[in-house]
Amino acid sequence: MRATVAEADVAAWSRCGSCASLVYGKRLARNLYVCPECGYHDRLTAAQRIDQLLDQGSFRPLLVEPVHFDVLGFTDTRPYAQRWEAARRETELAEAVLCGAGAIGGHELVVAVMDFRFLGGSLGSAVGEMITLAVELAVDEALPLLIVSTSGGARMQEGCLSLMQMAKTGIAIERHREHGLLSISLVTDPTYGGVAASFATNTDVIVAESGSRMGFAGPRVIRQTIGQELPAEFQSSGFLASKGQVDIVADRTDLRTVLTRLLAVGRREQRDVDPSNDPSNDLPNDLPVDGPAGSGVLITDPQRLVQRDPWETVRLARDSARPTVRDYLARSFDSFIELRGDRLYGDCSAVVAGIAEIDGLAVAVVGTEKGHSTPELVAHNFGMPQPEGYRKAMRVMSLAARLGLPVVTLIDTPGAYPGREAEERGQASAIAHAIQRMSALSTPVVAVITGEGGSGGALALAVADRVLVAENGVFSVISPEACSSILWNDTRAAAEAARALGLNAPWLLRLGIVDAVVPEPLGGSQTDHLAAGNLLRQAVLEALRPLLSLPAAHLIRARRSRFRRFGQAAVVTPTDIAPPQPRERHEEKAV
């Protein structure tokens, strides 16, 4: 573990700002200024942060001399000009941010690191300009961007000029995004006000250091403005994660690893999404089929499948011992870094999303998680997503499309959660927008129904170029129980309903609902998770590889054409349309 400063510069002893323990200075430095007694993360200077995060000797500072913007001649207890000069002397920094280029884990990037010692890390005109220049450098060099935030907010002494920096930096990051480049925010303690409401939260991925606090208004401002008392954990990193506001909460000792894994996929090529510039316009609408029969694991002939009673298949699909998405992530993929939250309300535990690697290929993975035991099933809402789950899924898929990463979805859900709170938060709208958004993704998409594929809640993650179903999986418009209750007026007719719904793999293949079937180990996936994971890995790669070389516009057109065909009974021609009839002068009476 690296110390951040020379041991000669470290105080002999330090008292922890949280538990008040007296800690040997060199021990604290070796522990990255995290208290070994209570885990409290002490504040770091910008130089210390760069020394900890970046590869040794890789940092190259952005050579810019900031201008002091004292256009108002602002004075409180001291003139602003004096405060600014004092901050420069005491911190030995030109301003409250240190910008430059460097590398983390061998991956080149541009960084902007704030320092709270400089006027509380406030966002002034010079800070905004330096961060904007750093973002523009990242665009020019086609590099990922990392911004490390710590701030009390906009710099009041500069009036509305400081406010304009929120828009200025936000526009710069949007331009960076439009170039298909990855941006990461590392939130440290504290991050408030105009910084929290701009570049700290408008990046692709938000990582919060353990113990950090972030919010638009700080607790003191809230108490003074509206007199509201706040819980102790309010605006903490854990609170933010539970409310869907950050992707990852990480201890300081893990930050380099987390950032390295994110940056590993941060420079992938983005696909061209402009159909007018796409040579695929002359290609057919259909996507290429998989290899010759018998060349892989996928089954495309219904006659090769075991002909089980559909009700038995339903029971197998629901077996709580079947592998969940987290089981498959551990066995079918080589690595996974989870991204959380919808940025609007919360983080749905029934949906798992993030960036993974499979056979050297970086992909985005989105799946529904049930769990195995009763406590796990309850914790994951029995695999029934809330609206925030679908919004999280779409956020990660959209990021994948911009970075040129294929998308893999793993679906095992009884359906979307039907509760009151889900309805209040727009469940129907969330599903509708998910279906629409997936149809337009400019990257290959493979969906696998690994267990239950329940109704629109499953379809919202299955609008794909290739749709696969596990041998003992099911995909249905409604559950057999609900169907029997509505049409048979008897819930005991569920087995009969299952046989009538055409929901098992043979029927799904015959109807063209799925493209192929993923075989399972003898007795079902629940009997051998390792073998099931290996089969899924092979199936995903077999379905995905033929799609990788196809232009984006062709993928989108073929995907939309795939779903356009379902239920297409006739082609309407102009002669099929009856001419308009002349209207009678008198109104007919309603009967």
Task: Label residue 587 by pLDDT band (50, 70, 90).
Answer: very low
pLDDT at 86 > cutoff 50 = yes
Please tell me the predicted confidence (pLDDT) of residue 285: 56
User: What pLDDT does residue 161 have?
Assistant: 87
Q: What value does the mean pLDDT of the chain take?
A: 87
Position 447, amino acid: A
Pick the CATH number of 43-263 from 3.30.1280.10, 3.90.226.10, 3.30.565.10, 3.40.50.720: 3.90.226.10
Distance, CA of 157 to CA of 159 (rounded, Å):
6
This prediction has a pTM of 0.83
Chain region(s) in the chain for CATH 3.90.226.10: 43-263, 312-564
Residue 295 has pLDDT above 80, yes or no: no
Asked if the model's pLDDT at residue 78 lies above 60, the reply is: yes
Residue 387 confidence (pLDDT) above 90: yes
Tell me how many degrees the CA angle 303-301-564 measures, rounded to the nearest 5: 130
**586 vs 45, higher pLDDT:** 45
Residue 102's H or E segment, with its range, is strand 97-104
pLDDT in tens, 228-258: 777 888 889 999 999 999 999 999 999 999 9
Burial zone of 581 (CB within 10 Å; 0-12 exposed, 13-18 middle, 19+ buried): exposed
Average pLDDT (31-50) is: 84
Place of tokens 């001649």: 73
Residue 491 has pLDDT above 90, yes or no: no
Taking residues 539-559, report their average pLDDT: 94
For residue 4 the two structure tokens come to: 């951040």
**Least confident piece of the model among 29-43, 79-93, 135-149:** 29-43
Between vectors from CA 482 to CA 479 and to CA 486, what angle results, nearest 5°? 140
Query: What percent of the chain has pLDDT above 90?
Result: 63
Q: Which CATH class is domain 312-564?
A: alpha beta
Q: What are the tens digits of pLDDT across the range 507-541?
A: 999 989 999 999 999 999 999 999 999 999 999 99
Both tokens assigned to 141 = 């060099």
- In this predicted structure, what is the pLDDT of residue 555? 93
The string of pLDDT tens digits covering residues 437-452 is 999 999 999 999 999 9
Q: Does the pLDDT at position 123 exceed 60?
A: yes
Q: Name which of 546, 586, 343 is nearest 446 in CA terms.
A: 546
- Predicted confidence band of residue 389 (pLDDT cuts 50, 70, 90): very high
**At CB < 8 A and 24+ separation, what contacts does 134-137 make?**
134/62, 134/99, 134/100, 134/110, 135/110, 135/169, 135/172, 135/173, 135/175, 135/176, 136/172, 136/175, 137/62, 137/101, 137/110
pLDDT over 50 (residue 290)? no
Per-residue confidence at 492, pLDDT binned at 50, 70, 90? confident
Interior/surface letters 159-175, b for 16+ CB within 10 angstroms, e for the rest: eebbbebbebbbebbee
Return the pLDDT at 483: 86
Q: Where does the pLDDT of residue 106 fall: very low under 50, low under 70, confident under 90, or very high at 90 and above?
A: very high
Report whether pLDDT(584) > 90.
no
The pLDDT of residue 277 is above 60: no
- Residue 176 reports pLDDT greater than 70: yes
Burial bucket for residue 74 (CB in 10 Å: 0-12, 13-18, 19+): middle
pLDDT tier for residue 397 given thresholds of 50, 70 and 90: very high
Mean pLDDT for 359-374 is 95
Query: Both ends of the chain: CA-CA distance in Å?
Result: 86
Parallel, antiparallel or unpaired: strands 183-192 and 205-209: parallel
pLDDT (0 to 100) of residue 505: 93
| Per-residue pLDDT, 333 | 96
Which alpha helices (DSSP H) does 56-159 contain, by range? 80-91, 125-140
Quick one: pLDDT at residue 115? 96
* pLDDT score at 341: 92
Q: Does pLDDT of 5 surpass 70?
A: no
List all residues 6 or more positions away from 266 whose beta carbon is below 8 Å from its beta carbon. 107, 109, 144, 181, 182, 184, 403
- Give the per-residue pLDDT at 246: 93
